[in-house]
A and B are shown apart, each in its own frame.
Chain A
Protein backbone atom coordinates (compact mmCIF):
# COMPACT_ATOMS: atom_id res chain seq x y z
CA UNK A 1 0.00 0.00 0.00
CA UNK A 2 2.81 2.43 0.80
CA UNK A 3 4.33 1.73 -2.58
CA UNK A 4 0.99 2.48 -4.25
CA UNK A 5 0.75 5.77 -2.35
CA UNK A 6 4.31 6.59 -3.38
CA UNK A 7 3.47 5.89 -7.05
CA UNK A 8 0.47 8.23 -6.87
CA UNK A 9 2.60 10.88 -5.15
CA UNK A 10 5.37 10.67 -7.73
CA UNK A 11 2.92 10.84 -10.63
CA UNK A 12 1.10 13.78 -9.02
CA UNK A 13 4.33 15.74 -8.56
CA UNK A 14 5.58 14.96 -12.07
CA UNK A 15 2.21 15.95 -13.57
CA UNK A 16 2.34 19.27 -11.74
CA UNK A 17 5.89 19.76 -13.04
CA UNK A 18 4.81 19.25 -16.66
CA UNK A 19 2.01 21.76 -16.18
CA UNK A 20 4.11 24.34 -14.33
CA UNK A 21 7.20 24.21 -16.57
CA UNK A 22 6.02 26.70 -19.22
CA UNK A 23 5.01 29.19 -16.53
CA UNK A 24 8.33 28.82 -14.70
CA UNK A 25 10.51 29.03 -17.82
CA UNK A 26 8.61 31.32 -20.15
CA UNK A 27 6.61 33.25 -17.58
CA UNK A 28 8.80 36.31 -18.03
CA UNK A 29 9.20 37.95 -21.39
CA UNK A 30 11.53 35.33 -22.81
CA UNK A 31 10.85 34.29 -26.38
CA UNK A 32 9.62 30.69 -26.66
CA UNK A 33 12.12 28.78 -28.86
CA UNK A 34 10.75 27.62 -32.21
CA UNK A 35 11.93 24.08 -31.44
CA UNK A 36 9.46 24.04 -28.53
CA UNK A 37 6.62 25.19 -30.79
CA UNK A 38 7.58 22.53 -33.28
CA UNK A 39 7.58 19.75 -30.66
CA UNK A 40 4.25 21.04 -29.35
CA UNK A 41 2.82 20.40 -32.78
CA UNK A 42 4.32 17.03 -33.69
CA UNK A 43 4.85 15.31 -30.35
CA UNK A 44 1.24 14.84 -29.14
CA UNK A 45 0.10 12.77 -32.16
CA UNK A 46 3.29 10.70 -32.04
CA UNK A 47 2.87 9.97 -28.32
CA UNK A 48 -0.82 9.13 -28.63
CA UNK A 49 -0.12 6.69 -31.49
CA UNK A 50 2.59 5.10 -29.33
CA UNK A 51 0.16 4.77 -26.40
CA UNK A 52 -2.07 2.66 -28.63
CA UNK A 53 0.91 0.32 -29.05
CA UNK A 54 1.38 0.46 -25.26
CA UNK A 55 -2.21 -0.70 -24.75
CA UNK A 56 -1.67 -3.64 -27.07
CA UNK A 57 1.70 -4.66 -25.69
CA UNK A 58 0.25 -7.68 -23.89
CA UNK A 59 -1.23 -9.41 -26.92
CA UNK A 60 0.63 -12.12 -28.75
CA UNK A 61 -0.14 -13.11 -32.30
CA UNK A 62 1.49 -16.48 -31.75
CA UNK A 63 -0.83 -17.57 -28.93
CA UNK A 64 -4.08 -18.92 -30.32
CA UNK A 65 -7.00 -16.53 -30.57
CA UNK A 66 -6.13 -14.08 -27.76
CA UNK A 67 -5.51 -11.23 -30.18
CA UNK A 68 -8.81 -11.51 -32.05
CA UNK A 69 -11.01 -9.59 -29.50
CA UNK A 70 -8.54 -6.69 -29.49
CA UNK A 71 -8.43 -6.43 -33.25
CA UNK A 72 -12.21 -6.77 -33.67
CA UNK A 73 -12.99 -4.20 -30.96
CA UNK A 74 -10.43 -1.73 -32.35
CA UNK A 75 -11.92 -2.11 -35.82
CA UNK A 76 -15.36 -1.39 -34.36
CA UNK A 77 -14.02 1.74 -32.60
CA UNK A 78 -12.39 3.00 -35.81
CA UNK A 79 -15.41 2.37 -38.05
CA UNK A 80 -17.86 3.80 -35.51
CA UNK A 81 -15.70 6.86 -34.92
CA UNK A 82 -15.15 7.61 -38.61
CA UNK A 83 -18.88 7.21 -39.14
CA UNK A 84 -20.44 8.99 -36.14
CA UNK A 85 -17.49 11.03 -34.81
CA UNK A 86 -18.88 10.63 -31.30
CA UNK A 87 -16.07 10.02 -28.79
CA UNK A 88 -18.20 8.55 -26.02
CA UNK A 89 -20.18 6.31 -28.37
CA UNK A 90 -16.98 4.93 -29.94
CA UNK A 91 -15.33 4.22 -26.58
CA UNK A 92 -18.49 2.85 -24.95
CA UNK A 93 -19.49 0.55 -27.81
CA UNK A 94 -15.91 -0.63 -28.34
CA UNK A 95 -15.46 -1.47 -24.65
CA UNK A 96 -18.79 -3.30 -24.36
CA UNK A 97 -18.04 -5.24 -27.54
CA UNK A 98 -14.61 -6.21 -26.17
CA UNK A 99 -16.06 -7.26 -22.80
CA UNK A 100 -18.64 -9.47 -24.52
CA UNK A 101 -15.96 -11.02 -26.72
CA UNK A 102 -13.55 -11.88 -23.89
CA UNK A 103 -16.25 -13.00 -21.47
CA UNK A 104 -18.50 -15.05 -23.72
CA UNK A 105 -16.86 -15.78 -27.06
CA UNK A 106 -13.12 -16.30 -26.73
Chain B
Protein backbone atom coordinates (compact mmCIF):
# COMPACT_ATOMS: atom_id res chain seq x y z
CA UNK B 1 0.00 0.00 0.00
CA UNK B 2 1.21 3.46 -0.79
CA UNK B 3 2.41 5.69 2.01
CA UNK B 4 -0.31 8.24 1.20
CA UNK B 5 -3.00 5.60 1.71
CA UNK B 6 -1.54 4.58 5.05
CA UNK B 7 -1.39 8.19 6.18
CA UNK B 8 -5.00 8.75 5.15
CA UNK B 9 -6.24 5.65 6.93
CA UNK B 10 -4.30 6.61 10.03
CA UNK B 11 -5.61 10.16 9.97
CA UNK B 12 -9.21 8.93 9.57
CA UNK B 13 -8.69 6.46 12.41
CA UNK B 14 -7.41 9.16 14.75
CA UNK B 15 -10.33 11.43 13.88
CA UNK B 16 -12.76 8.62 14.66
CA UNK B 17 -11.21 7.68 18.02
CA UNK B 18 -13.55 9.65 20.28
CA UNK B 19 -16.48 7.96 18.55
CA UNK B 20 -14.78 4.58 19.00
CA UNK B 21 -14.92 4.85 22.80
CA UNK B 22 -18.52 6.01 22.77
CA UNK B 23 -19.78 3.49 20.23
CA UNK B 24 -18.04 0.49 21.74
CA UNK B 25 -19.47 1.36 25.13
CA UNK B 26 -22.99 2.30 24.05
CA UNK B 27 -23.04 -0.53 21.53
CA UNK B 28 -22.23 -2.97 24.33
CA UNK B 29 -25.01 -1.54 26.47
CA UNK B 30 -27.40 -1.99 23.53
CA UNK B 31 -26.18 -5.56 22.89
CA UNK B 32 -26.60 -6.45 26.56
CA UNK B 33 -30.10 -4.99 26.60
CA UNK B 34 -31.09 -6.88 23.48
CA UNK B 35 -29.63 -10.12 24.83
CA UNK B 36 -31.44 -9.44 28.09
CA UNK B 37 -34.72 -9.17 26.15
CA UNK B 38 -34.09 -12.65 24.72
CA UNK B 39 -32.41 -11.84 21.38
CA UNK B 40 -29.09 -13.50 20.65
CA UNK B 41 -26.02 -11.75 19.28
CA UNK B 42 -26.89 -12.06 15.59
CA UNK B 43 -29.92 -9.85 16.20
CA UNK B 44 -27.57 -7.19 17.53
CA UNK B 45 -25.34 -7.66 14.49
CA UNK B 46 -28.26 -7.46 12.05
CA UNK B 47 -29.81 -4.34 13.55
CA UNK B 48 -26.46 -2.54 13.84
CA UNK B 49 -25.69 -3.29 10.19
CA UNK B 50 -29.04 -2.36 8.65
CA UNK B 51 -30.48 0.22 11.06
CA UNK B 52 -27.36 1.83 12.57
CA UNK B 53 -29.03 4.54 14.64
CA UNK B 54 -28.00 4.60 18.31
CA UNK B 55 -30.97 6.00 20.20
CA UNK B 56 -33.45 4.33 17.86
CA UNK B 57 -31.87 0.92 18.47
CA UNK B 58 -32.38 1.35 22.21
CA UNK B 59 -36.04 2.07 21.51
CA UNK B 60 -35.98 -0.95 19.16
CA UNK B 61 -35.41 -3.24 22.16
CA UNK B 62 -38.65 -2.10 23.77
CA UNK B 63 -40.49 -2.35 20.43
CA UNK B 64 -39.21 -5.90 19.86
CA UNK B 65 -39.99 -7.16 23.33
CA UNK B 66 -43.49 -5.68 23.28
CA UNK B 67 -44.17 -6.97 19.74
CA UNK B 68 -45.18 -3.49 18.57
CA UNK B 69 -47.21 -2.97 15.38
CA UNK B 70 -45.29 -2.13 12.20
CA UNK B 71 -47.07 1.18 11.54
CA UNK B 72 -46.31 2.27 15.10
CA UNK B 73 -42.63 1.33 14.59
CA UNK B 74 -42.52 3.27 11.33
CA UNK B 75 -44.01 6.43 12.85
CA UNK B 76 -41.78 6.21 15.92
CA UNK B 77 -38.70 5.92 13.68
CA UNK B 78 -39.72 8.85 11.50
CA UNK B 79 -40.19 11.04 14.58
CA UNK B 80 -37.17 9.96 16.60
CA UNK B 81 -34.80 9.91 13.63
CA UNK B 82 -36.45 12.96 12.08
CA UNK B 83 -33.51 14.99 13.36
CA UNK B 84 -31.30 13.30 10.74
CA UNK B 85 -33.07 15.36 8.10
CA UNK B 86 -31.36 18.40 9.52
CA UNK B 87 -27.92 16.80 9.58
CA UNK B 88 -28.08 16.04 5.88
CA UNK B 89 -28.66 19.70 5.08
CA UNK B 90 -25.05 20.42 6.07
CA UNK B 91 -23.65 17.96 3.56
CA UNK B 92 -25.86 18.40 0.49
CA UNK B 93 -23.01 19.54 -1.73
CA UNK B 94 -20.18 17.46 -0.30
CA UNK B 95 -21.78 14.00 -0.38
CA UNK B 96 -23.06 14.44 -3.92
CA UNK B 97 -19.54 14.63 -5.24
CA UNK B 98 -18.44 11.41 -3.55
CA UNK B 99 -19.38 9.01 -6.33
CA UNK B 100 -19.80 5.40 -5.26
CA UNK B 101 -19.54 6.32 -1.58
CA UNK B 102 -22.49 8.74 -1.83
CA UNK B 103 -25.27 6.30 -0.79
CA UNK B 104 -23.21 4.98 2.12
CA UNK B 105 -22.40 8.50 3.34
CA UNK B 106 -26.12 9.30 3.43
CA UNK B 107 -26.98 5.99 5.12
CA UNK B 108 -24.33 6.26 7.82
CA UNK B 109 -24.82 9.88 8.93
CA UNK B 110 -25.41 9.34 12.66
CA UNK B 111 -25.25 12.05 15.34
CA UNK B 112 -21.63 11.24 16.13
CA UNK B 113 -20.42 10.88 12.54
CA UNK B 114 -22.15 14.16 11.77
CA UNK B 115 -20.26 15.91 14.54
CA UNK B 116 -16.89 14.52 13.41
CA UNK B 117 -17.45 15.32 9.74
CA UNK B 118 -18.61 18.83 10.64
CA UNK B 119 -15.37 19.58 12.43
CA UNK B 120 -13.12 17.71 9.99
CA UNK B 121 -10.12 19.61 8.69
CA UNK B 122 -7.93 17.56 6.40
CA UNK B 123 -4.23 18.27 6.11
CA UNK B 124 -3.17 19.42 2.64
CA UNK B 125 -2.35 16.61 0.24
CA UNK B 126 -4.89 14.21 1.69
CA UNK B 127 -8.07 13.14 -0.06
CA UNK B 128 -10.85 14.63 2.06
CA UNK B 129 -13.59 12.56 0.45
CA UNK B 130 -11.77 9.34 1.12
CA UNK B 131 -11.10 10.33 4.71
CA UNK B 132 -14.76 11.25 5.25
CA UNK B 133 -15.77 7.85 3.90
CA UNK B 134 -13.26 6.03 6.11
CA UNK B 135 -14.45 7.89 9.21
CA UNK B 136 -18.07 6.95 8.48
CA UNK B 137 -17.07 3.33 7.89
CA UNK B 138 -14.89 3.09 11.01
CA UNK B 139 -17.69 4.54 13.13
CA UNK B 140 -20.16 1.90 11.98
CA UNK B 141 -17.61 -0.87 12.55
CA UNK B 142 -17.18 0.33 16.16
CA UNK B 143 -20.95 0.32 16.66
CA UNK B 144 -21.37 -3.18 15.21
CA UNK B 145 -18.42 -4.51 17.20
CA UNK B 146 -19.68 -3.01 20.45
CA UNK B 147 -23.22 -4.31 20.06
CA UNK B 148 -22.10 -7.84 19.16
CA UNK B 149 -19.57 -7.90 22.02
CA UNK B 150 -22.26 -6.75 24.44
CA UNK B 151 -24.69 -9.43 23.30
CA UNK B 152 -22.04 -12.17 23.48
CA UNK B 153 -20.87 -10.99 26.89
CA UNK B 154 -24.46 -11.17 28.12
CA UNK B 155 -24.72 -14.68 26.71
CA UNK B 156 -21.46 -16.05 28.09
CA UNK B 157 -21.22 -14.38 31.46
CA UNK B 158 -24.35 -15.15 33.33
CA UNK B 159 -24.29 -12.06 35.55
CA UNK B 160 -27.55 -10.48 36.58
CA UNK B 161 -28.30 -7.86 33.94
CA UNK B 162 -31.45 -6.59 35.61
CA UNK B 163 -31.48 -2.81 35.35
CA UNK B 164 -29.12 -2.61 32.34
CA UNK B 165 -31.93 -0.89 30.43
CA UNK B 166 -31.29 2.20 32.53
CA UNK B 167 -28.38 2.95 30.15
CA UNK B 168 -31.00 4.19 27.68
CA UNK B 169 -32.45 6.61 30.24
CA UNK B 170 -28.97 7.77 31.19
CA UNK B 171 -28.06 8.31 27.53
CA UNK B 172 -31.04 10.55 26.90
CA UNK B 173 -30.54 12.46 30.16
CA UNK B 174 -26.93 13.15 29.15
CA UNK B 175 -27.95 14.26 25.64
CA UNK B 176 -30.51 16.66 27.14
CA UNK B 177 -27.89 18.04 29.56
CA UNK B 178 -25.37 18.55 26.74
CA UNK B 179 -27.93 20.38 24.65
CA UNK B 180 -29.00 22.40 27.67
CA UNK B 181 -25.44 23.54 28.38
CA UNK B 182 -24.67 24.30 24.75
CA UNK B 183 -27.66 26.55 24.14
CA UNK B 184 -29.15 29.57 25.85
CA UNK B 185 -32.59 28.70 24.49
CA UNK B 186 -34.12 26.13 26.86
CA UNK B 187 -37.78 26.52 26.00
CA UNK B 188 -37.92 23.80 23.28
CA UNK B 189 -36.56 21.21 25.75
CA UNK B 190 -39.05 22.35 28.41
CA UNK B 191 -41.91 22.22 25.91
CA UNK B 192 -40.95 18.69 24.87
CA UNK B 193 -40.63 17.53 28.47
CA UNK B 194 -43.93 19.01 29.67
CA UNK B 195 -45.85 17.87 26.59
CA UNK B 196 -44.48 14.38 27.18
CA UNK B 197 -45.60 14.33 30.81
CA UNK B 198 -49.04 15.77 30.00
CA UNK B 199 -49.59 13.20 27.24
CA UNK B 200 -48.33 10.38 29.48
CA UNK B 201 -50.82 11.32 32.20
CA UNK B 202 -53.71 11.68 29.74
CA UNK B 203 -53.07 8.80 27.34
CA UNK B 204 -51.10 6.27 29.40
CA UNK B 205 -47.72 4.63 28.89
CA UNK B 206 -48.56 2.67 25.75
CA UNK B 207 -49.98 5.39 23.53
CA UNK B 208 -48.56 8.72 24.56
CA UNK B 209 -45.39 9.16 22.52
CA UNK B 210 -46.65 9.72 18.97
CA UNK B 211 -49.42 12.19 19.92
CA UNK B 212 -46.96 14.00 22.19
CA UNK B 213 -44.40 14.29 19.37
CA UNK B 214 -47.04 15.58 16.95
CA UNK B 215 -48.30 18.15 19.48
CA UNK B 216 -44.71 19.27 20.16
CA UNK B 217 -44.05 19.89 16.46
CA UNK B 218 -47.31 21.85 16.24
CA UNK B 219 -46.55 23.90 19.36
CA UNK B 220 -43.01 24.68 18.19
CA UNK B 221 -44.28 25.79 14.77
CA UNK B 222 -46.97 27.87 16.49
CA UNK B 223 -44.39 29.57 18.71
CA UNK B 224 -42.03 30.26 15.86
CA UNK B 225 -42.41 34.04 16.05
CA UNK B 226 -41.46 33.88 19.74
CA UNK B 227 -38.67 31.30 19.67
CA UNK B 228 -37.15 32.07 16.31
CA UNK B 229 -35.33 35.35 16.31
CA UNK B 230 -32.31 34.23 14.35
CA UNK B 231 -33.29 31.76 11.67
CA UNK B 232 -35.84 34.07 10.07
CA UNK B 233 -33.11 36.61 9.52
CA UNK B 234 -30.28 34.22 8.69
CA UNK B 235 -30.44 32.35 5.45
CA UNK B 236 -27.76 29.92 6.49
CA UNK B 237 -28.61 26.72 8.36
CA UNK B 238 -28.30 27.14 12.10
CA UNK B 239 -27.69 23.78 13.64
CA UNK B 240 -27.34 24.10 17.37
CA UNK B 241 -27.51 20.41 18.06
CA UNK B 242 -24.27 19.37 19.65
CA UNK B 243 -23.84 15.61 19.52
CA UNK B 244 -22.90 13.85 22.68
CA UNK B 245 -19.23 13.44 21.97
CA UNK B 246 -18.60 17.03 20.99
CA UNK B 247 -16.50 17.75 24.05
CA UNK B 248 -13.83 15.26 23.19
CA UNK B 249 -13.17 16.18 19.64
CA UNK B 250 -10.16 18.36 19.94
CA UNK B 251 -7.51 16.14 18.49
CA UNK B 252 -3.96 16.48 17.53
CA UNK B 253 -4.46 17.65 14.00
CA UNK B 254 -1.31 19.68 14.06
CA UNK B 255 0.83 16.69 14.96
CA UNK B 256 -0.62 14.76 12.06
CA UNK B 257 0.12 17.55 9.61
CA UNK B 258 3.79 17.40 10.48
CA UNK B 259 4.07 13.74 9.72
CA UNK B 260 2.68 13.94 6.22
Contact = CB atoms under 8 A, between A and B. Distances in A.
On whether the two chains bind one another, the answer is yes
B77 A48 contact: no
B200 interface: yes
Contact of A57 (B68, B83, B107, B208): B208
A90 B43 CA distance: 27
Contacts of B196: 49-50, 52-54
A7 to B, nearest CB: 5
Q: Nearest 5 A-B pairs (CB), nearest first?
A: A46-B192, A40-B86, A53-B196, A22-B88, A99-B163
Given A91-B29, A95-B163, A53 B200 contact: yes
Contacts of B79: 47
Interface in A85-106: 85-88, 90-92, 94-95, 98-103
Contacts of B177: 78, 81-82
B179 A44 contact: yes
Contact of B231 (A41, A49, A73): A41
Contacts of A36: 85-86, 89
Contacts of A41: 188, 228, 231, 238-241
Interface stretch (B9-17, B125-133, B150-158, B217-225): B217-225
Contacts of B234: 37
Contact of B193 (A17, A23, A50): A50
B157 to A, nearest CB: 14
Interface of B: 21-22, 25-26, 29, 39, 43, 46-47, 50-53, 55-56, 59-60, 63-64, 67-68, 70, 73-74, 77-89, 92, 95-96, 106-107, 109, 160-164, 166-181, 183, 185-186, 188-193, 195-197, 200, 205, 208-209, 212-213, 216-217, 220-221, 224, 227-228, 231-232, 234-235, 237-241, 244-245, 247
* Chief secondary structure at chain A's binding surface: helix
Nearest to B179: A45
Interface of A: 3-4, 6-12, 14-23, 26-27, 32, 34-58, 69-70, 73-74, 77-78, 81-82, 85-88, 90-92, 94-95, 98-103
Contacts of A49: 176, 188-190, 192-193, 196
B51 A15 contact: yes
Given A7-B68, A37-B231, A52-B196, 11 more contacts: A6-B70, A11-B74, A15-B81, A37-B237, A38-B227, A40-B89, A46-B189, A50-B209, A74-B173, A91-B29, A100-B163
A29 B48 CA distance: 34
A34 B225 CA distance: 12
B168 A23 contact: no
Contacts of B85: 18-19, 21-22, 36, 40
Nearest to A81: B177
Contacts of A77: 170, 173-174
A50 B59 CA distance: 13
Nearest to B246: A87
B70 A4 contact: no
- Name the residue in A6, A23, A98, A103 with the highest tally of chain B Cβ atoms < 10 Å from its Cβ: A23
B106 A102 contact: no
B31 to A, nearest CB: 14
Contacts of B77: 10-11, 14-15, 18
B46 A8 contact: yes
A51 B82 contact: no
